Structure formats: structure tokens, C-alpha cells
Structure 1
Amino acid sequence: MTRSTAMDEAAENGAEAYDVVVVGGGAAGLSGALALSRARRSVLVIDSGEPRNAPSDGVHVYLGREGTPPAELMADGRAEIRRYGAQLRTGRVVSAERDGTGFRLTLADASVVRARRLLVTSGLVDELPDVPGLAELWGKDVLHCPYCHGWEVRDRRIGVLATGPLAVHQALLWRQWSDDVTLFLHTAPEPDDESYEQLAARGVAVVDGKVDELVAAEGRLTGVRLASGEEFGVSALAVATRMSARADWLAPLGLDLADQAVQGTVVGRHIPTDPTGRTDVPGVWAAGNVAEVSAQVIVSAAAGVRAGAAINADLVTEDTRQAVAARRAGRPLGD
């Protein structure tokens, strides 16, 4: 392995320095770290321990790992990257700044690490509708993705809480898993005549009025209560959250979030990247939900591998440039 001049200088100053620091230890981050550590790069993964899918019973549509508890999948991933020399640290990055051609990261405990490249996989935060009782059931009976949870609630009474223009599409999608689906208009715009016809044709009931609270018994959803006091029985409720990337700490580098839209409707904020995960800031890549808010776990993992390979290729180019410069200057570049 070839060390960079910047890495050598950082080591001489007593600083922790790595080829790549991965911020976020979910599927994207661990997959990227696996690709990089197998490429014999020095890698540190910093994870705050706040996985988005923590309330979920299992990871779904992940070939070969279907139904695996999220914590188990992450534990296996951490063990795998350690096998190839990657390091892990529990912590939260609070700021990032340029440090020569690399980066200087400060954690919440005031410790500092340096990196030649950054892979941002810090995920996102779901902003839930403000309905009493909803947050307590999030990830259990209150769900967002039919591909992640539809099979588990198949043939049950499913409600869809409408909060925006995509509500009709959402209700028609959930209809694939149950013939007992009710769309609660709540705060969403009134559907047009064509939408009403589509809902009626698929047997989706429509209930007008704002949902005032969720009703539960023994920790499980049993219904929704409208502001009028009328109650409707459901055992699963689909909601559309607003999803915002955890990336405020990147602002000093000039990396700003952008709106991400689905069918013309903004559903969240993300870090824009090219197909490899490269951002507009040289040396910074992003993968997973921080870059694609609707990505499922297996998609995030694949994006992490792709970004890891791209980062290694970028470092190879830099290592080669430094080696050529050293050769021309008549000095060997240390291995």
C-alpha cells in the first residue's frame, strides 16, 4: 500500500488519519467500508447508533437475508469489515473542514480525525405527521413502504393517511396487498374526478375529515379517530413521511441539500450525486438514503459498494500522481 504525503504528515503530528472516513454505519456505509478495506485502504467508520430501521422487525427484499433483524444484519456487517482491518467508532460528526487536500472531522466528544476522502452514509430522518399516537406505532403498525412491509400486513384492514398529492397513488399501491384499504383524506387535497373513479374501481374506500388520533390496544393499532369523533377500524396505517438527510455538518464544505421529488412532489431533502455517489465537493461521496431518500436497504448497500470502488479509483489516481512526482524528484515514495 502507498501512503500519501498528507497521511504521513498527519501521523507525524499525532493525528488519526485514514484514507477514507465513512460517516454512518448502516448498510451503505458498511458496504462501502467493506469494498474499501478489501482494497487495502485504511478505513474508519463513525456511527451515531441511530439506525432509521431500528423499529422494524426485519429487513425485507434483501436477497439472501430476507427477514433478518436490522441489528443482526449490521452486527454481521461490522464483523466483516473488521476482518479486513477497518475500524469502527461510535460517535457523531459535528463539523467538517478542508485540511490540505483532505478533510478534518470533529466529533461531538471534541476528538478529531483526518481523511483523504469522505463517504457520507449518515441516512435520513423521517418527519412524521403530527397525529397523536402515530409516533409510538412507527415501524410496527404505522408503515411507509409496501415493499418493505406489505407482505407482513397482507389481507389486513389497511388505512392510508393522506398528507399530500401522492396519497391516491399510495392507496392504489397498498391495494395490491389487501382488498380492504381505506384512504383517509386528512390534510391532503381533494382528489379529482379521475382519481375518485380509480379508487372506486379498485374498491378503495375514501373517508373525508381530519384524523385526530390513532387508537391502540396493548400496543397495537386498532383504529383511527376523526376530529368529528367518528372511529374507523384499521390494523395497519400507511403514511408518507418527509425525509431529510442527516448532513447539516457538511455545510462548511459548501455541500448543500436539494429537494428530491417523486412525480413532481417534493418528498424530502438529499445530497445530489452522480451515479457513483460523487458529490459536487471534490473528495466527498455520498450513498444510501442520504443521497436517495427512497432507497431500500439492498439498494443502499449496492450504492455503498459502488461509491467505495469509485473512491478507491480516485485514490489510486492520486497515489500514482504522487509516485510519479517522487520518481521525478529522485526520492522513493514510502510504502
Structure 2
Amino acid sequence: MTEYDVVVIGGGAAGLNGALMLARSRRSVVVVDAGQPRNAPAAGVHGLLGREGTPPAELLALGREEVVGYGGEITPGEVADVTRDGDRFAVTLTDGRTIIGRRLLVATGLVDELPDLPGLRERWGKDVVHCPYCHGWEVRDQAIGVLATGPMSMHQAQLFRQLSADVTVFSHTLPPSAEQAEELAARGIRVVPGEVAGLEITDDRITGVRMADGTVVARTAVAVATRMVARAGFLAGLGLTPVAHPSGIGEHLPADQAGRTDVPGVWVAGNVTDLAAQVGTSAAAGAGAGAQINADLIAEETRLAVAAHRERCTASLAG
């Protein structure tokens, strides 16, 4: 089958839960999954009631199984382009396949852009972390360093201070303001000035933060506020491109509370629109968007049915 009621682009929590809602509503739905989940490096999913600590790959496998159990389809692939085909959408994959859908649910997530410093990418999702709610418990009571890289870095430092009494901010290229410095001092958070050169790694674990002057500050975990950018380049043909998020933390695809974009027939859910959403939030948004898409399809089908009914009645009267 190459034509569906809904094509879901992205096989993470948001996309799969949206597909689940649609499949349970007896919609023909296919999930195009590039197999590049943002949380792949993490050991477990956290803050998800009933699934606390479940490995990300295991959670997604369970989700795919549930979608398929209700008649939905999962196809591996990466989307290259999306165009309008009359009142439908043509989704072209990088391998040349084309899938047609009446509606689109885009749940491709985001890319975390890390500062170009030795050690950060290698330890990402292990002892280089970003979210205190996703990884904070795992680094509790450790010597935590916070690398100041963005507008949320000082707030991030305060959040990690809730989890450890030993938190140090490395001002790097973004020194705290006078007000922020006072707040950090009040909470016992040390500030180390100067640029960071990289991480010290021994026996596959962080042992310190190396400064540009060669000084090494002992740390066992490092928090960094990444720049988060929605994966949505393939939507440019529809006039949808990521824009700056109001918070300054990256780029997202704007949508209303239901996930509806400015392009009729296209919904978004999860990190592609809500950069700060965790797995549970993304899954809930996917379910909500799926329900809204089903309602939108019903409204269209009802309009068409009424028009056909009137035509039959008119033909009957004329006869």
C-alpha cells in the first residue's frame, strides 16, 4: 500500500503514539522511521510513569508492536522531500519511494548541537548531560560542572544544584550577569572564569574539565545546554521551515496547542515543535495530534457525504 489516510514522519514516542491513536480509529496509517532517536545514547527513559528506566530502544520496540497490532504500518526510511499532490501529500524517501497521505503528522524530533569541544560528543548521554529531569538522579551528589553556552545555562546550574551540593559553573564564553553571579553565590555554586578547552577522560569516564590555560578542574559529570534544532528541512517545499524559539534555545516548527501548523493538513508533535518536551510529554502530544487529525478527516468525509447525499436527492427529485 502506498496511499494512506495519514503518513507519520518520525518513529519516536510522539510519532508512534499518534499512529496508535489513528490506527485504533481504523485509519490507514504508516510511520516512516529513520531510526535516529535523539535519546539513543541514554541508558533509560525517565519521568515516564509505569516505564521508568526502560531502555529507549525497548520502549520504541514496544510502541511499534502496538501500532502494528492495530493495523498500522512501520517502514524504515528517511524523508527527502514533501510536496502537495492535489488534496494529498507526496512523501518522497531518500531511496526513491513515494508515499501518498491525506494528512501528515511530523514527529521527527530535533538535533542537539553541542559545542565543539573534545570529549563532549563522546560522553554525550552518559556523563555529559543536559536535562536534570532526564539524567539528574543518575548524577546526584556528584561533582557536576555546568558549561555556560546558552541563555538557559544559569537556570540549568540552579536545577542541578537541587541534586548536588558540588556544582561549578564554567563561564566559558558566557559569563553570568551580576544578578546571576549573586544568585549562584547565594546557592554555593562556584564560578570558574575563562574558556574551556575540553574534558579530561580516564578509563571511559569524565575526571575533569580542562581550561584553555591548562588548568584541570576535577568533575565527574558535565551539564551542557545544547542548541536544539528541529529536524524539518524536508518540509521546505511546503513552506514550513524551523524558526527561532522564543526562549533562544534553538529552532522549532510553530503550531497551535493541537499541533496544527499553518499549512492545512500538516500537524506536528514532540520535540520538532516543543524543544523541551520529554518522552511522556511528546507521547501525549502525539496522541492529541492523532485525535485531532482523525477529527479533521471525519469533518472532511462528512462534508463530502453531505454533498453526495444532496446530489442524490436532487437527482431523485429531477427523475
Check whether TM > 0.5: yes
Is the 1:250–1:256 Cα contact (8 Å) retained in structure 2? Answer: yes
After superposition, residues 250-261 of structure 1 pair within 5 angstroms as 250-261=235-246
Give the AA of the match of 2:282: S
Matching of residue 241 in structure 1 with residue 226 in structure 2: yes
- In the alignment, the residues of structure 2 paired with residue 132 and residue 328 of structure 1 have an alpha-carbon distance, to the nearest angstrom, of 69
What is residue 251 of structure 2 aligned with on the other side?
269
Is the 1:35–1:309 Cα contact (8 Å) retained in structure 2? Answer: yes
TM-score by length of 1: 0.92
What is residue 11 of structure 1 aligned with on the other side?
none
The Cα shift of 1:218 comes to 1.8
Give CA-to-partner distance per residue, 1:216-266, whole Å, 9 cap, x none.
Answer: 11211111100100001111100010011010110111112211132xxx1
Q: What SS does the corresponding residue of 2:213 show, helix, strand or coil?
A: coil
What is residue 12 of structure 1 aligned with on the other side?
none
The Cα shift of 1:194 comes to 2.2
Is the 1:212–1:225 Cα contact (8 Å) retained in structure 2? Answer: yes
What is residue 316 of structure 2 aligned with on the other side?
none
Is the 2:152–2:249 Cα contact (8 Å) retained in structure 1? Answer: no
Is the 1:29–1:119 Cα contact (8 Å) retained in structure 2? Answer: yes
The Cα shift of 1:168 comes to 1.8
After superposition, residues 280-299 of structure 1 pair within 5 angstroms as 280-299=262-281
Structure 1 residue corresponding to 2:154, chosen from 147, 161, 168: 168
What is residue 40 of structure 2 aligned with on the other side?
54
Structure 1 residue corresponding to 2:184, chosen from 199, 224, 236: 199
Matching of residue 300 in structure 1 with residue 244 in structure 2: no
After superposition, residues 1-335 of structure 1 pair within 5 angstroms as 16-188=2-174, 190-262=175-247, 266-330=248-312
- In the alignment, the residues of structure 2 paired with residue 227 and residue 288 of structure 1 have an alpha-carbon distance, to the nearest angstrom, of 38
The Cα shift of 1:100 comes to 1.1
Q: What SS does the corresponding residue of 2:103 show, helix, strand or coil?
A: strand
The Cα shift of 1:172 comes to 1.2
- In the alignment, the residues of structure 2 paired with residue 177 and residue 18 of structure 1 have an alpha-carbon distance, to the nearest angstrom, of 47
- In the alignment, the residues of structure 2 paired with residue 165 and residue 36 of structure 1 have an alpha-carbon distance, to the nearest angstrom, of 38
TM-score by length of 2: 0.96
- In the alignment, the residues of structure 2 paired with residue 304 and residue 164 of structure 1 have an alpha-carbon distance, to the nearest angstrom, of 28
Q: What SS does the corresponding residue of 2:287 show, helix, strand or coil?
A: helix
Q: What SS does the corresponding residue of 2:157 show, helix, strand or coil?
A: helix
Q: What SS does the corresponding residue of 2:245 show, helix, strand or coil?
A: strand
Give the AA of the match of 1:273: A
Is the 1:164–1:187 Cα contact (8 Å) retained in structure 2? Answer: no
- In the alignment, the residues of structure 1 paired with residue 260 and residue 283 of structure 2 have an alpha-carbon distance, to the nearest angstrom, of 16
Give the AA of the match of 1:204: I
Give the AA of the match of 2:54: T
The Cα shift of 1:205 comes to 0.7
Give the AA of the match of 2:181: Y
- In the alignment, the residues of structure 1 paired with residue 291 and residue 102 of structure 2 have an alpha-carbon distance, to the nearest angstrom, of 15
- In the alignment, the residues of structure 2 paired with residue 142 and residue 26 of structure 1 have an alpha-carbon distance, to the nearest angstrom, of 22
Is the 1:212–1:226 Cα contact (8 Å) retained in structure 2? Answer: yes
Q: What SS does the corresponding residue of 1:261 show, helix, strand or coil?
A: coil
The Cα shift of 1:276 comes to 0.4
Is the 1:35–1:305 Cα contact (8 Å) retained in structure 2? Answer: yes
Give CA-to-partner distance per residue, 1:49-100, whole Å, 9 cap, x none.
Answer: 0000000000000011110000010000000011100000000010111111
- In the alignment, the residues of structure 2 paired with residue 157 and residue 126 of structure 1 have an alpha-carbon distance, to the nearest angstrom, of 24
Is the 2:151–2:249 Cα contact (8 Å) retained in structure 1? Answer: no
What is residue 317 of structure 2 aligned with on the other side?
none
The number of aligned residues is 313
Q: What SS does the corresponding residue of 2:246 show, helix, strand or coil?
A: strand
Q: What SS does the corresponding residue of 2:31 show, helix, strand or coil?
A: strand
5+ residue gaps in structure 1?
Answer: 1-14
CA root-mean-square deviation: 1.1
- In the alignment, the residues of structure 1 paired with residue 203 and residue 177 of structure 2 have an alpha-carbon distance, to the nearest angstrom, of 38
Is the 2:79–2:91 Cα contact (8 Å) retained in structure 1? Answer: yes
Give the AA of the match of 1:329: E
5+ residue gaps in structure 2?
Answer: 314-319
Give the AA of the match of 2:145: G
Give the AA of the match of 1:103: F
- In the alignment, the residues of structure 2 paired with residue 99 and residue 222 of structure 1 have an alpha-carbon distance, to the nearest angstrom, of 55
The Cα shift of 1:192 comes to 2.6
- In the alignment, the residues of structure 1 paired with residue 67 and residue 138 of structure 2 have an alpha-carbon distance, to the nearest angstrom, of 31
